[in-house]
Amino acid sequence: MTARTTTKHPGWTLAIVSIALFMTALDNLVVGVALPSIRVDLGGSIEMLEWTVNAYTLTFAVLLITGAALGDRFGRKRMFVIGLGIFTVASALAALAPTIEALIAARALQGLGAAIVLPLTLTLLSEAVPGEKRGMALGIWAGVSGLGVALGPFVGGAVVEGIAWQWIFWLNVPIGLVLLPLAARRLTESHGPSHRLDLPGLGLAGVGLFGLTFGIVRATTLGWTSATVVVSIGGGVALLLAFLWWQTRAAAPMLPLRFFRSRGFSAANGVSFAMFFGVFGSIFLLSQFFQTAQGYSPFEAGLRTLPWTGVPMIVAPIAGLLSDRIGSRPLMVAGLALQSIALFWLAAISAPDTPYASLIAPFVIAGTGMALVFAPSANAILSSVRPEEAGQASGATNAIRELGGVMGVAVLATIFSAHGSYASPQAFTDGVVAALPIGAAVLAVGAVIALFVPGLRSRTAPGTTPASAPAVAVGGPAAVAEGVS
């Protein structure tokens, strides 16, 4: 039996998980613009600087499923508070880091905290919000998350130029100190469907995801055929296959494989992987385009990305509301198609002397496409599992999409290196123009996968009746907003 309860104050749940998610989303992108300043202060090779980003990405991606499983076993509220505390302490340690090695260690600890917090934001919100109100709630959740993504380069550039790079981490500390007592007091405790912890599953998933993600990250530097990369990826895949085998035999599996028998769950996860692959691989290169190819400062570059990264903050709540009325499928198909068109457009017009005004339209189209996918995909996933299984589903989905983002960055960076370099503005642009069509093609494949997401009227969670399913209801005046970050 699950100890599932519903909070009397869903507004508090929305506010707390939204701010927590905003903080982790902001921190994921804010570091990139600070790397030159970090190199000057702490020294270190280019590879060490890469690890200030990758240490966070690795622990975050590897431990997402684990974080959700721990929440199901020991209590979602309890683990959310613990994860938030870890993230806050790690932010202070990163700001105080005396060496590049200490900064990398602090970033890995931040990734651990974020891996616990992120999947539980979705689960806690699902606990608090009735199914018929979930679409708009998820729209607000996606909008706040989009705000963190939008402000990441902008805030990072402003802080680095105006104060010091350490303050990109110090900013998290007062937010965390305010959220911790609020979360402890206002959130309601709940558990997953099983009180047993699948330790073999945790070990196989954690080590397998680490091997796979580590190999992908290192491929950018060592090449895809190096022994380190081949052994790491091969070993990771083997352990993940062993994990899947074990999940068919475990008494209390951390990831029930029957989830993937749901067309909605499988298709929505395929969409998430494709979108994070195409979008984050492209943003990784385009966020550097303004500085490296066009000579802008970090703050000026961050400001110019706002038409892309800022649009989801506005459009995502609307997409969430529409998903209650027309379903997730048409929004996800349109969103991925728009992103694919935008990247092909950017590949066609990007040059060192391209006027900024020419880039605004494809940036807005790409941002609109992102917003049309975020909330509807989360809604489709939650609608395909039982309410008490939201934690397991959320952990799996977040791990899959983060893996897509890591792979997208690695693959597009490899293509960039084969066709371009940092030697000159034109050389950098040549690499970007070669890589972007690959991201666009993956997004187009994602649009095709989205066609397999069930329509609104056919969505019913396994083991439930249409009336009790967590699927969003057909829209109407009663559908009100409640959000998540």
Res. 65 pLDDT band, cuts 50 70 90? confident
Residues with Cβ < 8 Å from 60, sequence gap 6 or more? 28, 111, 112, 114, 115, 118, 402
DSSP state of 453: S
Q: How does residue 13 score in pLDDT terms, banded at 50, 70 and 90?
A: confident
Is the model's pLDDT at 1 over the cut of 70?
Answer: no
In a 13 Å sphere around the CA of 422, the CA atoms on its Cβ side amount to 8
- Please tell me the predicted confidence (pLDDT) of residue 349: 92
Mean pLDDT of the region 456-485: 33
Per-residue pLDDT at 482 exceeds 50: no
Higher pLDDT: 472 or 111? It is 111
**What is the chain's length?**
485
| Average pLDDT value for residue range 40-49 | 69
Q: What is the pLDDT of residue 148?
A: 63
Q: What is the mean pLDDT of the segment spanning 379-407? A: 73
What pLDDT, on the 0 to 100 scale, is given for residue 461?
Answer: 42
Give DSSP secondary structure letters for 285-346: HHHHHHHHTT---HHHHHHHTHHHHTHHHHHHHHHHHHHHHH-SHHHHHHHHHHHHHHHHHH
What gap in Å lies between CA 137 and CA 132, rounded to an integer? 10
- Provide the mean pLDDT of the chain: 76
Question: What proportion of the chain, given as a percentage, has pLDDT over 70?
Answer: 77
Q: According to the model, what pLDDT value does residue 234 have?
A: 93
Contacts of 180 (CB under 8 A, 6+ apart): 81, 84, 85, 88
Q: Is the pLDDT of residue 195 over 70?
A: no
What's the rounded mean pLDDT across residues 9-16?
72
Is 8's pLDDT higher than 50? no
* pLDDT, tens only, 268-306: 888 888 988 888 778 777 777 887 788 887 677 777 877
Asked if the model's pLDDT at residue 314 lies above 60, the reply is: yes
Predicted local confidence at residue 149, as pLDDT: 61
Average pLDDT over residues 341-366: 92
Is the pLDDT reported for residue 456 higher than 70? no
* Closest by Cα among 350, 221, 366 to 293: 350
Looking at the domain covering 10-197+252-458, what would its CATH class be? Answer: mainly alpha
Determine the pLDDT at residue 175: 87
Residue 139 has pLDDT above 90, yes or no: no
**Mean pLDDT computed over 85-113:** 91
Predicted local distance difference test score (pLDDT) of residue 469 = 31
Task: Please give the C-alpha separations between residue 244 and each of 33, 67, 197, in angstroms, as whole numbers.
Answer: 39, 18, 16
> Does residue 361 register a pLDDT over 90?
yes
Which whole number is the average pLDDT over 369-375? 81
Q: How many CB atoms lie within 10 A of CB 47?
A: 12
Sign of CA dihedral 244, 24, 298, 372: positive
**CB-based contacts of 141, cutoff 8 Å, min separation 6:** 14, 17, 18, 21, 121, 122, 125, 320, 375, 378, 483, 484, 485
Percent of all residues in the chain with a pLDDT value above 90, rounded to a whole number: 16
**For the segment 146-185, what is each residue's pLDDT rounded down to a tens digit?**
666 666 666 766 777 667 778 888 888 988 898 888 888 8
Average pLDDT estimate for 114-128: 76
The domain limits of the chain are 10-197+252-458, 198-251
How many Cβ atoms sit within 10 Å of the Cβ of residue 454? Answer: 21
Range 352-374 burial, b when 16+ CB lie within 10 A, else e: eeeeeeebeebbbbbbbbbbbbb
Name which of 294, 268, 275 is nearest 397 in CA terms: 268
The residue written with tokens 């692959």 in the block is 277
Confidence (pLDDT) at 146:
61
In this predicted structure, what is the pLDDT of residue 87? 93
Please give the average per-residue pLDDT across 193-215, as a whole number: 78
Q: Give the model confidence (pLDDT) of 225-263 as tens digits.
A: 889 989 999 999 999 899 889 888 887 777 777 788 888
DSSP, collapsed to helix, strand or coil, labels residue 352 as coil
**For residue 463, is pLDDT > 60?**
no
Q: Which of 12-16, 224-228, 330-334, 462-466 has the lowest mean pLDDT?
A: 462-466
Contacts with 376 (C-beta within 8 Å, 6 or more apart), sequence order: 135, 319, 320, 322, 323, 327, 328, 329, 331, 332, 335
Task: Give the pLDDT of residue 339.
Answer: 93
Segment among 36-50, 168-182, 230-244, 307-321 with least mean pLDDT: 36-50
DSSP state of 250: -
Q: Which residues of 457-476 are buried (b: 16+ CB within 10 A; e: fewer)?
A: eebbbeeeeeeebbbbbebe
Q: What pLDDT is recorded for position 266?
A: 86
> What pLDDT was estimated at residue 373?
83
The predicted structure's pLDDT at residue 5: 42
In angstroms, rounded to a whole number, what is the distance separating the alpha carbons of residues 485 and 139? 9
